Amino acid sequence: GPQSLRLAAARGNPQAQTEIAMRYAKGSGVAPDFKRAAQWYERAASQGFAPAQYHLAALYERGRGVKKDPARAKIWYERAAKAGNVKAMHNLAVMYTGSAGSKPDYKSAAYWFSQAARHGLPDSMFNLGILYESGLGVPKNPLEAYQWLSLAATRGDREAEKRRQKVRLLLRPETVKSADRAVSLWHARPRDIEANEVRAPRGGWRSAATSATSTPGADTALVKDAQKLLNILGYDAGIPDGVLGAKTREAIRRFESRSGYKASGKVTPELVARLKALIS
């Protein structure tokens, strides 16, 4: 890849590291090399960068460039999912159904299918509909099943259309009418761009190469400190696990807005210093 991209990656920029990994995985401008892709994904993933965590999990799940390891795949999918990566939410849910030979945990599967479905992922909508239809991990609910299958069907899923017609027979005509209206008005939750996409910075990779290490995920210890301090100050940042997920980012934004700073949702040493100053 270009010199500036390599330099940004060498300096620890997780987007640049992930971009290089993707090029190795696709064979874009280089010979395909999953082993190298895995190494670069791991560097970015260990900084908390959700898109890299998702891709690394997929390599562990399939055994590409690394030894096949479903347990490790699940760990990385979970980290990416908690940080807001929608595809990771879906794949994690699939793993909870026992796809990798483990004992099914349908309650957790339903939770993660629900999260991904609410962000507009048709495969998750379909699977969630099936769980509601059969009462796996959630109470049996033909209305919920019908609505989720309808949402998947309106997004082109033919199998969902067939299942939807079957479930429809269990509902009263007036219930179907109000459900169809709810489906037509439904909107997906917006996706967190940083957790789902790999984008070159505004000034291109050159600007990333010359700037200091820019880690959207920040390092785990710093995130953990920020989470603990935010919780003490009454901003619910969730469990202090060092993962910069949607809940932690939202807590940071609330703190920044109330304190008169621009709401960035990012963890920086300056943020942690400000939080500490308020407590001491």
Summarised one tens digit per residue, pLDDT across range 91-115 is 999 999 998 788 999 999 999 999 9
- Are both 130 and 256 inside the same structural domain? no
- Are both 36 and 137 inside the same structural domain? yes
**Is 161 a domain residue?**
yes
How many other CB atoms are found less than 10 A from the CB of residue 249?
22
For 183, counting Cβ atoms within 10 Å of its Cβ (0-12 exposed, 13-18 middle, 19+ buried), the class is middle
Summarised one tens digit per residue, pLDDT across range 2-29 is 788 988 888 888 999 999 999 999 999 8
pLDDT at 12: 86
pLDDT confidence tier of residue 40, bands split at 50, 70 and 90 = very high
Distance CA 157, CA 87 (A): 17
pLDDT at 227: 92
pLDDT confidence tier of residue 209, bands split at 50, 70 and 90 = low
Among 168, 185, 202, residue at a domain's last position: 185
Distance CA 174, CA 178 (A): 6
pLDDT at 200: 78
Amino acid at 106: Y
pLDDT confidence tier of residue 239, bands split at 50, 70 and 90 = confident
- Are both 38 and 115 inside the same structural domain? yes
- Are both 135 and 251 inside the same structural domain? no
Q: Is the pLDDT of residue 263 over 90?
A: no
Summarised one tens digit per residue, pLDDT across range 186-199 is 999 999 999 999 98
Q: How far apart are the first and last CA of the chain?
A: 47
Q: Find the mean pLDDT for residues 71-90.
A: 96
DSSP-assigned states of every residue in 14-27: HHHHHHHHHHHHHT
Structural domains counted in the chain: 2
CATH number of the domain that 248 lies in?
Answer: 1.10.101
Residue 217 Cα distances to 3, 24, 85, angstroms: 24, 22, 13
**Is 90 a domain residue?**
yes
Which structural domain range is residue 108 located in? Answer: 3-185
- Are both 121 and 38 inside the same structural domain? yes
Among 185, 211, 246, residue at a domain's last position: 185
- Are both 147 and 91 inside the same structural domain? yes
Distance CA 177, CA 185 (A): 13
pLDDT confidence tier of residue 213, bands split at 50, 70 and 90 = very low
CA quadruple 37, 38, 43, 48: dihedral sign: positive
Structure pTM?
0.76
**Is 249 a domain residue?**
yes
- Are both 173 and 70 inside the same structural domain? yes
Q: Is the pLDDT of residue 45 over 90?
A: yes
**Is 190 a domain residue?**
no
More confident residue, 95 or 214: 95
Say what percent of the chain tops pLDDT 70.
Answer: 94
Q: Is 153:184 a contact under the CB 8 Å cutoff?
A: no
- Are both 138 and 261 inside the same structural domain? no
Q: Find the mean pLDDT for residues 71-85.
A: 96
For 69, counting Cβ atoms within 10 Å of its Cβ (0-12 exposed, 13-18 middle, 19+ buried), the class is middle
Q: Find the mean pLDDT for residues 260-274.
A: 86
Residue 84 Cα distances to 5, 109, 183, 197, angstroms: 25, 16, 24, 11
CATH number of the domain that 75 lies in?
Answer: 1.25.40.10
- Are both 180 and 232 inside the same structural domain? no
- Are both 16 and 88 inside the same structural domain? yes
More confident residue, 202 or 46: 46
Q: In whole numbers, what is the pLDDT of the chain averaged over residues?
A: 91
Q: What is the chain's Cα-based Rg?
A: 21
Amino acid at 6: R
**Is 122 a domain residue?**
yes
Q: Is the pLDDT of residue 208 over 80?
A: no
pLDDT at 210: 62
Q: Find the mean pLDDT for residues 236-245.
A: 82
- Are both 266 and 163 inside the same structural domain? no
**Is 98 a domain residue?**
yes
Summarised one tens digit per residue, pLDDT across range 151-183 is 999 999 999 999 999 999 999 999 999 999 999
Q: Is 88:80 a contact under the CB 8 Å cutoff?
A: yes
**Is 195 a domain residue?**
no
**Is 45 a domain residue?**
yes
Distance CA 126, CA 262 (A): 39
- Are both 110 and 19 inside the same structural domain? yes
